[in-house]
Chain A
Amino acid sequence: MEDVEHIEKKMKLIDENGLRLDGRKPEDLRPIRMEVGVLKRADGSAYLEWGGNKVLAAVYGPREAHPRHLQDPTKSLVQCRYNMAPFSVTERKRPGPDRRSVEISKVISEAFDSVVFSEQFPRASVDIFIEILQADAGTRCAGLTAASMALADAGIPMRDLVASCAVGKIDGVVCLDLRKEEDNYGDADMPVAMIPRTGEVLLLQMDGHLTLDEFDKAFGMVKGAISSIYEMQKEALRKRYAVTAEEFADQPEQAPQERPPPPPPESEEPREMPQEIPPDYEEGQQ
């Protein structure tokens, strides 16, 4: 069965020297460039180029959660919208959320939910917008990595930055950070997001075929990559906010390039009377 698949694919993804289509070794990442604070209106933003991916992330909030019935009196919501521009892919993508984007938005929201100190902002919402401007596989990882920096740029209190990377298998070899052709004709793809400091896995998806040994190898590889991406994120943030002594001396009147803290969530209108406490449904279902 497996042999048949390989013959059908025809495309060879790894050459005789063990190098990939773009000359990378299995454990190499594509070039990554990050920039923080690229949008004027958003409370926080980041731009990321990752191989052929171009991704923009913006954060608004904490701000009043809409629609109101979604508000949580104990904590803020963390809502992410992942969206692909129609021109970001080879065949035009119909604008608006499709099932794939809805799922990715959901898993990214969940990944950030426990990282943001949401208890500090009851009834508010932290809104994350990820726009894929140009796609070349691994967009959810790129989007999540950018969103993490945008959150930091917005001054949202977080336990740590979150970094993300995918690992996969092509021509039977476990490889890091697949590009489009490798993803299309490869054997497996596994996006992972972690808190690099603690090793907590916040996002994990996988499709394809991995043996248990391959999974172990893949996980080790992606963990290492996530650590280096984490360093790049910190560097990009430092670049945005660090002020050198010379700069400081040049502009004695101006405060360092620090943004004012985000405004507190808008004050609430008088709340409606608390409604009847919903019955505890599962009580009777035992």
Chain B
Amino acid sequence: MTEIISELQRERVYRLAASGTRSDGRTPEEVRPLSIEKNYIKNAEGSALIRLGNTEVLVGVKVELGEPYPDTPDSGVLSTGAELIPMASPVFESGPPRPDAIELARVVDRGIREAHTIDFKALCVTPKEKVWICFVDMHVLDYDGNLFDAASYGAMSALTCTKVPASKIGKEDYPLPVQHYPISVTAAKIKDVIVIDPNLQEEQIADARLTIATDENGDIRAMQKGLRGSFSYEEINRVIGLALKASEVIRTKIKA
């Protein structure tokens, strides 16, 4: 997944970032406009189409009956997948998921799972035999940077409007019990400059990336560093601070 960036472009984006502005006019601490359309897909038990700037991700949740894991016989199951389909970018190719897509799905999954977002106990039908399994599938439609956050907001939004189809087994449908709202915020480091919610250009020239999921209490739930560059301890702490600040507005939007 590589695109060639001219040195001039690289220099320009860096110079802008270093001067406190960005190629799309944002400040380094500003997230792109986020719009969320819940219940976008009729046949999914929950869904959301989200746009983060020009990045667009459609997330569908299918809830089906299945067997629990042997070590958690009375808990439902969460299964997260991501597809980087070729329509979303000239560099995405069809075929089985590549490491990028796998990392994306696993990082989103970790943020949601570690915050105990879903009350899995409420998804148990018959212990050891039948539980509800939530398949969260993230479909990237338009890739303009920061898939980690876009996909995560999409997944959270879709889960908040998911209905467990209990009428299939002669009970009443009920909303998926979502008890926490972890919010992931990703920062990109370009040389010595840190910006959050990187757009495509910024992401392409970034040296390092750090994704941090925080909960309502301001505690850290998951982290993932990526790309070849490094972060110092001070930089990590700065990103944590930025993530906490940015997460509040986003949480309100996803809850709405």
> A residues within 8 Å of B by Cβ?
1, 99-100, 102-103, 105-107, 110, 113-114, 190, 195, 199-212, 215-216, 219, 223, 277-278, 280-282, 285-286
Contact = CB atoms under 8 A, between A and B. Distances in A.
A207 B222 contact: yes
B230 A277 contact: no
A201 B220 contact: no
Contacts of A190: 223
A86 B105 CA distance: 24
13 contacts: A1-B116, A201-B230, A201-B231, A202-B225, A204-B223, A204-B224, A209-B114, A210-B220, A212-B240, A216-B237, A280-B6, A282-B9, A286-B24
Interface of B: 3-6, 9, 23-24, 54, 90-91, 99-100, 102-103, 105-106, 110, 113-116, 144, 179, 200-201, 204, 207, 210, 215, 217-233, 236-237, 240
A207 B221 contact: yes
Given A107-B103, A200-B232, A209-B114, 20 more contacts: A99-B102, A106-B100, A114-B229, A200-B230, A201-B232, A204-B225, A205-B225, A207-B110, A207-B222, A209-B219, A209-B221, A212-B240, A219-B233, A280-B6, A281-B90, A281-B91, A282-B9, A282-B204, A285-B200, A286-B23
A103 B232 contact: no
> Chain A binding site: helix, strand, loop or mixed by DSSP?
mixed
B102 A103 contact: yes
A115 to B, nearest CB: 9
A212 B91 CA distance: 38
A207 B254 CA distance: 22
A205 B230 contact: no
A97 to B, nearest CB: 9
A279 to B, nearest CB: 9
A199 B102 contact: no
B222 A282 contact: no
